[in-house]
Chains A and B, each alone.
Chain A
C-alpha cells in the first residue's frame, strides 16, 4: 500500500476535527434558526390574515355607521317619500364601499305610491350614482326569509352574503335596519349593500403578492379564503365553491379528523393556527374570526414555505462551511508541504551519503525540529567520515594479517604424510585458528634418525601472538639444529623470548626428541598440556614436570624427562583450545573426555590423520555449533617402530604407581611373544620384571612424588637384556642377601622374596648408579 504524505495525513486530521466541530455548530445553529425562521414566516401569514380581518371590520363598520346615521335623516323625512330618493343617492355617493342601498316599505305605508313602495340607489359601472323607484314590479323582498327574519328582529343586522342579481350582480352582504314612522311603528327596512368584490380582489391581490414575494418557485403555494358563520365559502380561489360549498363539508371528506376539529373551532368563532394535511400537502392553516361579520379569514400555507428560509439558511451555512473547509484543507496541505520541503532535500542528501559522498552540503533549514535533524545528520556525516577512515585502516590491517596468517601457515608442516618413505612413523597435525592469525604452533622434523617435535600456545591471539609464535617457531628450528636435548632447546628459546618481552607475553611449550630406533623419548614441558599416550588397552597422560612457560624467567632451569614410547603407541599433543572448547552452556570439553575418546579410538588402530579427524569430530559433536574463542591445535605422532630381531631394542616407561604394573604386563607379553617364550618362561620373566619394577615403585621415591621408570629391552641371538632405570634414591637390590626358601617364612615376612624371584628367573643381574640413576640390568640367556 502506498503511504500517505505527512501533509496529506496532517491536513486530513485537521479537516476531520474541523468538520466535526462545524457539524456541531451547524446543527445547533440550524435547530435554533429553523424554528425562529418558521416563527417569522408564521407571523407573516398571521399578519396577513389579521390585516384582512381589520380591513373587513373597517369596511363593514363604515357601512354600518353610514346606515345608522341615515336612518335618522330618513325618519325625519318619513312623511315626504319623494325626498327619500335623494338621501339614498347621497348615502351611496358618500360611502365608497357601499355598492347600493334601498328602502323597502311594508305594504300600504304610502297609499299614494301604491300597494308596494321601494326605492333604491346604486353605483353603476361608470361610478355614477343612480336611483330608481320600484312600486309593483320590485322583487318581492318581503316574502324572503332573510327579510322576514331581519324585520322581525328588534335590531339591525348584517344579512348572510348573497348574490345580488338585481343591482351590482356581485356577491353582496347587506346591513338591514328598521325604519320607524313618527309613532315609532316599524314601517320598513333600510338596506345598505356592500359588494364583496373588493374583498375578492383584495384576496386575489394578497395571494398574488404572497406568491410573488415569498413563494416563488414553489410548486405548492399559499391561498386564502373566507367562510361565514355557517361555514359557507364567501371568498375562495375556486369560485365554484362560493356560496355553494361549506368548509365543514370539505373537511369531512378528508380522512384526517384534525381539520374537522379546526372547522368546528372556526364555526365557534375562535382564532388560531394548526398544522394539517390539506389536499395531501403538509400545510399550516392560520385562521382569524371577524367580529360583527362573524366570518373567519383563513390562509393555508404549505409547510415547505414556512420552513423554506430555515432550510435555505442551513444550505447556505453548509455551502459556506464546505468552501471554508476546502480552503483550510488546501492551506494546511500547502503550509505543511512547504515546511516539509527540507525533508525532501535531506532525502536527496542521505541518498548521496549512501552512495559514499559523505561531505555532501546539507540544506539550510528554518524550523527547530528540522534543525535538530540537521545537526544529527551533520554528526552522522562526521562519524561516517571517521568510520570510513577506521574501516580503511582496519581493512589494510586485515589484509596484512591475512598475509601474516598465510606466512604463518606456511611455517607449519602442511604436507601429509610428511615422511612417505618411512614406515616407522606416521604424523598428522592440524591448527584451527580462532582469529585469522593464531598463537598456536607445532612443528616436527627428523635429524639423525631422531624426530624433533614441538607444540606451543602463545597466550593471547591475533597479530602479537602470531609474532611471538613465529619467533618461537624459528628459534625451535635453529636450536634443534644445534642441540639434541629438548632442555637445551627450550632454554635457548626461553632466553630469546624473554629478551625485550615487556608485554609479559608467554608461551606454553612442549618439545620432544624421539629416537626412532628404539622409541626413547626425551622431552621437556614448559607449562603445556600433558600429551596423551594412546595405546590399545593402555591410554594415559604422559607424566610431565611442572616447568614454567617460556618468556617469564630467562634463567629458569627446565627439567628434561625420559620415557619410552612403545611401538604402536600414538602420542597425542594438543593445545588447551581443544580441551577447553565450550558448549553454549559453558561446559568445557575437558581432558577427561578427550582421554576417554582417545582410549576408545585406540582399539580402532586408525592412521594419524583419521585419528585426529575423529578426535576433532568428538569435540565438535560435544560443543555443537558454538563458536570457539581459542585456537585449536592437534598433533598425533604414531610410532610404529621396527621389529629387527638382530638388533632387538624396545622400551617402556611407566609412572611409579602399582596400577601401572598391568600396563607393564601388556608390554611384557608382547616382548615374550617376540621372543617366542613358552608359558613358563613368559610367567617367569614377567615375575622377575614385575618384582624389580614394584621394588622401585615401593621404595625408590618418597611417598607422593611422581617419576618415570624406564624399562629398556635389548636382545640378540644369545640373550635378552632388561635395563631398568629410575632416578630415585640409590639402592642396590643385588646387595640384598639371598633368601633361604627352604626355611619356613615367618608371619607376613615375605621381604626379599622379590629379589629372590628375580635372581631365580634371570640368569644374571647387575646394578650400577649412573648419572644419578639406578640402573638394574637383568639378563636371560636364550
Chain B
C-alpha cells in the first residue's frame, strides 16, 4: 500500500492511493498523508484508480482527510474509483460525502 502526494501546480495537488487500504495499513497511511494538510486554498484530487480495496478503516481515513482539507479551505475530489471500491462508497453512503471527478 502506497500513498503518493504530487503537486501539479500552485493550486492543484494529487494524492495517489494504490493497493489495499485496510485496517492493517490505515494508521501508517494516515502519517503518509500528513503533508497534504499543509496546503490551503487549493484543489486536492485523490486518485483512486489503483486502489483495489477499502474497508471502514480506509473510509475513516478519507473522512479525516476530507475534514482537515476543508478546514484549510481546500476543495477535495475523488477520481477513478474501481467498481468494487465504488460499491463500498455507495453502500456506506460515502458517495454523498465526497465530490467526484
Contact = CB atoms under 8 A, between A and B. Distances in A.
A682 to B, nearest CB: 8
B66 to A, nearest CB: 9
B91 A757 contact: yes
Contacts of B60: 748, 750, 753
A686 interface: yes
Interface in B9-67: 20, 22-27, 52-57, 59-60, 63-64, 67
A745 B27 CA distance: 21
A684 B91 CA distance: 10
B24 A754 contact: no
A660 interface: yes
B85 interface: yes
B88 interface: yes
B94 to A, nearest CB: 8
B23 A697 contact: yes
A687 interface: yes
B91 A741 contact: yes
A680 B92 contact: no
Contacts of A679: 83-84
A744 B64 contact: no
A750 B88 CA distance: 14
Interface in A676-694: 679-680, 682-684, 686-687, 690-691, 693-694
B25 A662 contact: yes
B83 A680 contact: yes
B63 A745 contact: yes
A397 interface: no
A658 B87 CA distance: 24
Contacts of A761: 91
Contacts of B52: 683
A544 to B, nearest CB: 22
Contacts of B26: 658
Interface class of chain A by DSSP: helix
B24 A658 contact: yes
A633 B59 CA distance: 48
Contacts of B83: 679-680
Contacts of B87: 680, 683-684
Dominant secondary structure of chain B at its interface with chain A: helix
Interface string B70-101: 00000000000001110110011110110000
B63 to A, nearest CB: 6
Contacts of A691: 55-56
Interface residues of A, number: 32
B24 A753 contact: no
A745 B88 CA distance: 15
Contact of B22 (A661, A757, A760): A661
A757 B93 contact: no
B23 A757 contact: no
Contacts of A760: 91
Nearest to A753: B56
Nearest to A694: B23
Contact of B92 (A661, A682, A747, A756): A756
A71 to B, nearest CB: 168
Contacts of A143: none
Interface string A755-768: 01100110000000
A691 B22 CA distance: 9
A742 B64 CA distance: 20
B90 to A, nearest CB: 9
A753 B96 CA distance: 15
A754 B20 CA distance: 17
Contacts of B88: 683, 687, 757
A661 B96 contact: no
6 contacts: A661-B22, A665-B24, A683-B84, A683-B85, A687-B53, A694-B55
The 8 closest A-B pairs by CB, nearest first: A741-B93, A683-B84, A661-B24, A694-B23, A753-B56, A662-B24, A661-B23, A658-B23
Given A658-B23, A753-B59, 17 more contacts: A658-B26, A658-B27, A661-B24, A665-B24, A682-B84, A683-B87, A687-B53, A690-B22, A691-B56, A693-B23, A741-B93, A743-B93, A744-B97, A753-B56, A753-B92, A756-B91, A757-B55
Interface of A: 658-662, 665, 679-680, 682-684, 686-687, 690-691, 693-694, 697, 741-745, 747-748, 750, 753-754, 756-757, 760-761
